[in-house]
Homo-oligomer: A and B are copies of this chain.
Amino acid sequence: MKDTGRITTLPPRRGGRRRLSLVAGGAGFIGSHLCRALLDRGDSVLCLDNMQTSRASNLLGLQSDPNFSFLRWDIVDPLPPEVLAKTPRIGRIYNLACAASPPLYQRDPEHTMLTNVVGTNHLLHLAEEAGARFLLTSTSEVYGDPDIHPQPEDYRGNVNCTGPRACYDEGKRAAEALAFDYARAGRAEVRVARIFNTYGPNMDPADGRVVSNLICQALRGDELTIYGDGSQTRSFCYVSDLVAGLMALMEAEFDGMEPVNLGNPVEMTVNELLEQILGLAGGRMRVVNHPLPVDDPRRRKPDISRAQELLGWQPRVPLSEGLAATYAWFEAEVGTCASEVGQVR
């Protein structure tokens, strides 16, 4: 991890032919996979991350690539000269910057809100200056605790704007509003993805998500924690599918004036997920039920017909395959897992 606030690897010029893609939050779980995929496609990548919830180890494989550069930066602050100097080369801006799990984004709710509003605005302004296309990673959390299933994009949601999750949920809704206002005024081309639950390698073992929590607990031989009775549903998308969806959305030629759900519509209860993980762990384990957190959604399932029509995209990795790969990755990382899980950093 570089933490000097300097860009440490300048992307090669190659006669200016490589497109520069900026990825804010590029050291995070999804961001690090996106950076890898963009490099593999032939882009130069400038990654900004404040390392608030991202893992330094996610950068290890990226930093050996000569077309990758990293700047430790918090997008709440005005973008620094090192980034502004690259404005003419920037063709794509992906905004994945924000703590995304409830215990982490609730630690500093003011910062969570400002990351989504002020940070997004800084990047939108850069997109305007650069003539770059901008993609906001919004979230299924804009639907709150939904009362219709599955959720299509024109569902307006059921969000409590006064509760402890509001800094994130309302922050993302505000960020969407800003992005569409830039688009409506012709200031920037925008794309808005609403991401549903995603899992895979590079997840933070400590961020309190159900997949990582259960796998780490199983690997440690601890009791497995289920919030509520486990009958609440989730839909889990493997990270490679999600990243393919983000890139397809960014490159899709349409007016961008509609958000697009990206996620896996295969819905299951948390108890069904638990069974699969117990199967991978291959042992008898104790399961304990804890109270549901405030405003925790009971059901969550994307309607992805818009993504299918617009992008020809849909998830391809079955849960059994994705979970096995994720379990294997956590197994290799188990030292980290054992020391970090349960702590909210």
User: A171 with B167: in contact, given A113-B117, A161-B156 (CB under 8 Å)?
Assistant: no
Taking CB as reference atom, which chain B residue is nearest A160? B156
Cα A178 to Cα B109 with chains together (Å) = 8
Report if A259 contacts B (CB, 8 A).
Answer: yes
Please tell me which one of the listed residues B110, B121, B166, B185 contacts residue A176 in the complex, with CB atoms under 8 A apart.
B166
Residues on the B chain within 8 Å of A258, using CB:
162
User: A176 with B156: in contact, given A167-B181, A181-B109 (CB under 8 Å)?
Assistant: no
Copies of this subunit? 2
User: A161 with B178: in contact, given A118-B118, A121-B110, A156-B144 (CB under 8 Å)?
Assistant: no
Please tell me which one of the listed residues B167, B170, B182, B257 contacts residue A170 in the complex, with CB atoms under 8 A apart.
B170
User: Beyond the given A162-B180, A166-B173, A167-B181, could you list 19 further A-B residue pairs with CB under 8 A, ordered by the A residue number?
Assistant: A109-B178, A109-B185, A110-B121, A110-B178, A110-B182, A113-B177, A113-B178, A114-B121, A117-B118, A117-B174, A156-B158, A156-B159, A157-B161, A161-B177, A162-B258, A162-B259, A167-B178, A170-B177, A171-B174
Taking CB as reference atom, which chain B residue is nearest A171? B174
Residues on the B chain within 8 Å of A117, using CB:
113-114, 117-118, 174
Residues on the B chain within 8 Å of A173, using CB:
159, 161, 166, 170, 173-174
Report if A102 contacts B (CB, 8 A).
Answer: no
Residues on the B chain within 8 Å of A163, using CB:
180
Cα A157 to Cα B155 with chains together (Å) = 12
Cα A174 to Cα B159 with chains together (Å) = 11
Residues on the B chain within 8 Å of A174, using CB:
113, 117, 161, 170-171, 173-174
Residue pair B177, A166 in contact (C-beta under 8 Å):
yes
Cα A160 to Cα B159 with chains together (Å) = 12
Name A239-286 residues within 8 Å CB distance of B.
257-259
The interface bits of chain A over 141-172 (1 if a CB of B lies within 8 angstroms of the residue's CB, else 0) are 01010000000000011111111101100110
Residues on the B chain within 8 Å of A160, using CB:
156
Taking CB as reference atom, which chain B residue is nearest A164? B184
Q: Shortest distance in angstroms between A309's beta carbon and chain B's nearest beta carbon? A: 18
The interface bits of chain A over 164-208 (1 if a CB of B lies within 8 angstroms of the residue's CB, else 0) are 101100110110111011101100000010000000000000000
Residues on the B chain within 8 Å of A157, using CB:
156, 159, 161
Cα A171 to Cα B118 with chains together (Å) = 12
Residues on the B chain within 8 Å of A118, using CB:
114, 117-118
Residue pair A142, B161 in contact (C-beta under 8 Å):
yes
Instruction: Find the residue from A110, A118, A257 having the highest chain B CB count within 10 A.
Output: A110
List the 6 shortest-distance A-B pairs measured between CB atoms, nearest first.
A166-B177, A109-B181, A161-B173, A174-B174, A170-B177, A117-B117
Instruction: Find the residue from A121, A161, A171, A173 having the highest chain B CB count within 10 A.
Output: A161
Residues on the B chain within 8 Å of A259, using CB:
162
The interface bits of chain A over 115-135 (1 if a CB of B lies within 8 angstroms of the residue's CB, else 0) are 001100100000000000000
Instruction: Find the residue from A113, A114, A159, A167 having the highest chain B CB count within 10 A.
Output: A113
Q: Shortest distance in angstroms between A295's beta carbon and chain B's nearest beta carbon? A: 10
Q: Shortest distance in angstroms between A179's beta carbon and chain B's nearest beta carbon? A: 9
Q: List 5 A-B contacts (CB under 8 A).
A: A113-B177, A156-B157, A157-B159, A166-B177, A170-B174
